[in-house]
Amino acid sequence: MRATFMYGAGDVRVEEVPDPRIQAPTDAIVRVVLSCVCGSDLHPYRNMPTSGTGVPMGHEFLGVVEETGSDVTTVRRGDFVISPFAFQDNTCQFCREGFQTSCVHGGWYGAGGVGGGQAEAIRVPQADGTLVAAPVGEDSELLPSLLTLSDVYLTGYHAAHMGKVNQRTTVTVIGDGAVGLSAVLASKQMGAERIILMGRHASRTNLGREFGATDVVPERGKEGIAKVLELTGGEGTHVVLEAVGHLPAYEMAYGVVRPGGVISRVGVPQYEQAPIGFGSLFGKNATLTGGPAPVRAYIEQALPDVLEGRINPGRVFDRTVTLDQVAESYKAMDSREALKVLLTP
Amino acid sequence: MRATFMYGAGDVRVEEVPDPRIQAPTDAIVRVVLSCVCGSDLHPYRNMPTSGTGVPMGHEFLGVVEETGSDVTTVRRGDFVISPFAFQDNTCQFCREGFQTSCVHGGWYGAGGVGGGQAEAIRVPQADGTLVAAPVGEDSELLPSLLTLSDVYLTGYHAAHMGKVNQRTTVTVIGDGAVGLSAVLASKQMGAERIILMGRHASRTNLGREFGATDVVPERGKEGIAKVLELTGGEGTHVVLEAVGHLPAYEMAYGVVRPGGVISRVGVPQYEQAPIGFGSLFGKNATLTGGPAPVRAYIEQALPDVLEGRINPGRVFDRTVTLDQVAESYKAMDSREALKVLLTP
């Protein structure tokens, strides 16, 4: 089969590799029907040191179960399934508390001998705890929105969930990428009436307005902070959802969070050290939360919203290419020509 | 009257100054009956650059109202009152949300023309929003415990409150100072059944055990982290209450927090930059919260617990001196001879 590998910054290749095979009784093999490129894939696309060994790429996919290991009971051959971007047993102590990305038997696609989703097929470890069957066919118009339950929409949802967004909270969303726009949509779903979207790309912020943003702030840095404070009577917002991952975005976050408010991060931090002392978080009792989204915790609840048309998070996809064109799709997203690209095998 | 001033590291003096006077109609003058030295006073005691101008010291006090401004309605001359360590109007938008230390009309004792509590008397701005009357006399045996409602016990309480301690959460408390021990007591009050106290001073950790600690870990750094993980089956605790304020304490905090858990800081951070990326907080969806305790939000609820003897947080005081001996009390706390020192005028 064909699968996508990254060999270094800017170097994405599709290669012919052996078909994946069941390795453990808890595995399933899924034929990929639809996958996509993630904003987080752009971090190695910009920074990965050149390597002689390709890293399997892709962690968001929908597909059809082709084969299951002997212990798998919740999905069977022929089922149409959604996979979270990480696998998990969904039964361990951390899974039960809703933090499946910390599963003691879990892991990440593209690492530790597990392939990536930007491929024709993939081996899914811990299939019972990972895969969620969806009652649709391969030709459903809902596939793009269902694919967002693999990562992007539910990552935005996780940000809002950890930030405790509700009817009484004002919200700032930092970042007009697909996760930021998803965070806007999730905040709207949770009842937020004031959602300020910080982003500079009109085509994206326009979609953000359709998803529920009430204000758009294109300014960044100090000017951006000043603008949000101006919009909120100098107070800042109760919740700030940080969907970028770079330090300047975090710096804006603590600048606009209200005393006693919450910064919820889902952009994978491209930094380790950052300000958290009296002048940033502590002095105003600001809370910092977030992390890799345990989307498995949220799929079953979000599924009816997609199936019954209450939300259409798949609108974040603005281009579809075949797997052979995957390198171009990385380039298009990196240059911001495309917001988020669908891949068909 | 006599009042305490700090002129630099290790340089604490009691000086004769003019009596405080009403300056605004919302002020009250309180004759101090009992005050004390705070762990946070030790930070400038160790680090303050030498200055020709003394900084008024002390922010924890009980006393009797001597005079009130024309707008003050909730306390009157002769009332015995508790003051939070910060003043506030208790009516602004942030006060109403329970974050009185961010009050738009609030401030700190010892700054901006407001005196300190390690004195014979003090001017209290925003008296209506700040002072809480307590039905006791100046000779009550409850005074030490009532004084802890000014700061230390309710700062420990704030840590536990922000950390959402309850019957189902395991807790690590970092620091066996008076705030750490208070955090143990507050966690016990909130129902925590497993409370691990990290501290090395047996006389203090023994009191911690009496307050509710189930385990004591004297090790620090990597050894301390390993020990807490060993005690918790490798998982860490749901909540970590950080009551020190130095970077190594924070580093232990993210080492022992469980995936999806909460680090709640009330030790005033003596650092601004610290790790918060994938390897510390983000990867395990750990939440960081805390800040200056809005003790005003908690006094009325805690008061009956003290008055009716359900808690005795005043046990953190292990020495009483007169104001003239205040310099010695700083020295005794700095050298850890004393845990926390009461001051009588």
Three-state helix/strand/coil letters over chain A: CEEEEEEECCEEEEEECCCCCCCCCCCEEEEEEEEECCHHHHHHHHHCCCCCCCEECCCCEEEEEEEECCCCCCCCCCCEEEECCEECCCCCHHHHCCCHHHCCCCEECCCCCCCCCCECEEEECCHHHHCEECCCCCCCCCHHHHHHHHCHHHHHHHHHHHCCCCCCCEEEEECCCHHHHHHHHHHHHCCCCEEEEECCCHHHHHHHHHHCCCEEECCCHHHHHHHHHHHCCCCCEEEEEECCCCHHHHHHHHHHEEEEEEEEECCCCCCCEEECCCCCCHHHCCEEEECCCCCHHHHHHHHHHHHCCCCCHHHHCCEEEEHHHHHHHHHHHHCCCCCCEEEEC
- Looking at CA atoms only, how far is residue A340 from chain B in angstroms? 24
Question: Given B97, B274, B291, which is nearest A283 (Cβ)?
Answer: B291
The pair of three-digit structure tokens given for residue A17, joined into one six-digit string = 């590799």
- Looking at CA atoms only, how far is residue B279 from chain A in angstroms? 7
Domains in chain A with CATH codes: 2-151+294-344 (3.90.180.10), 155-290 (3.40.50.720)
Question: Given B99, B258, B265, which is nearest A259 (Cβ)?
Answer: B99
Chain B CB within 8 Å of residue A276 CB = yes
Give the pLDDT band of residue A43 (cuts 50, 70, 90): very high
Q: Three-state SS for B171?
A: strand
- Residue-by-residue DSSP string for B238-283: EEEEE-S-SHHHHHHHHHHEEEEEEEEE-SPPS-SEEE-STTTTGG
CA–CA dist B86, B292 (Å, integer): 9
Average pLDDT, chain A: 97
Q: State residue B32's pLDDT score.
A: 98
Chain B CB within 8 Å of residue A162 CB = yes
Q: State residue A263's pLDDT score.
A: 98
- Residue A308, classified by CB atoms within 10 Å of its CB into exposed (0-12), middle (13-18) or buried (19+), is exposed
Q: What is the mean pLDDT of residues A7-20?
A: 98
CB atoms B291 and A274 under 8 Å = no
Q: Which residue of A has its CA nearest to B94?
A: A259
- Looking at CA atoms only, how far is residue B262 from chain A in angstroms? 9
Question: Given B93, B260, B277, which is nearest A98 (Cβ)?
Answer: B260
DSSP type of residue B52:
S
Phi, psi of A329 (to 5 degrees): -70, -35
Chain B CB within 8 Å of residue A279 CB = yes
Chain B CB within 8 Å of residue A107 CB = no
Nearest to A117 by CA among A157, A163, A57: A57
CA–CA dist B132, B302 (Å, integer): 12
Tell me the residue length of chain A. 345
- Looking at CA atoms only, how far is residue A345 from chain B in angstroms? 31
Helix (H) or strand (E) holding B116: none
Residues of B whose CB is below 8 A from A275: 272-273
- Looking at CA atoms only, how far is residue B239 from chain A in angstroms? 14
Q: Which residue of B has its CA nearest to A233?
A: B93
Chain B CB within 8 Å of residue A247 CB = no
CA–CA dist A27, A30 (Å, integer): 10
pLDDT in tens, A145-166: 999 999 999 999 999 999 999 9
The pair of three-digit structure tokens given for residue A165, joined into one six-digit string = 């967004």
Q: Are B158 and B69 in contact (CB under 8 A)?
A: no
pLDDT in tens, A207-235: 999 999 999 999 999 999 999 999 999 99
Phi, psi of A319 (to 5 degrees): -160, 145
- Look at the alpha carbons of B237, B241, B243, B247 in this order and tell me if their dihedral is positive or negative: positive
ipTM of the complex: 0.96
Residues of A whose CB is below 8 A from B107: none
Chain A CB within 8 Å of residue B290 CB = yes
Nearest to A158 by CA among A107, A84, A96: A84
Q: What is the mean pLDDT of residues A285-305?
A: 98
Q: Which residue of B has its CA nearest to A274?
A: B273
CA–CA dist B112, A197 (Å, integer): 37
pLDDT in tens, chain B (345 residues): 999 999 999 999 999 999 999 999 999 999 999 999 999 999 999 999 999 999 999 999 999 999 999 999 999 999 999 999 999 999 999 999 999 999 999 999 999 999 999 999 999 999 999 999 999 999 999 999 999 999 999 999 999 999 999 999 999 999 999 999 999 999 999 999 999 999 999 999 999 999 999 999 999 999 999 999 999 999 999 999 999 999 999 999 999 999 999 999 999 999 999 999 999 999 999 999 999 999 999 999 999 999 999 999 999 999 999 999 999 999 999 999 999 999 999
Q: State residue B174's pLDDT score.
A: 98
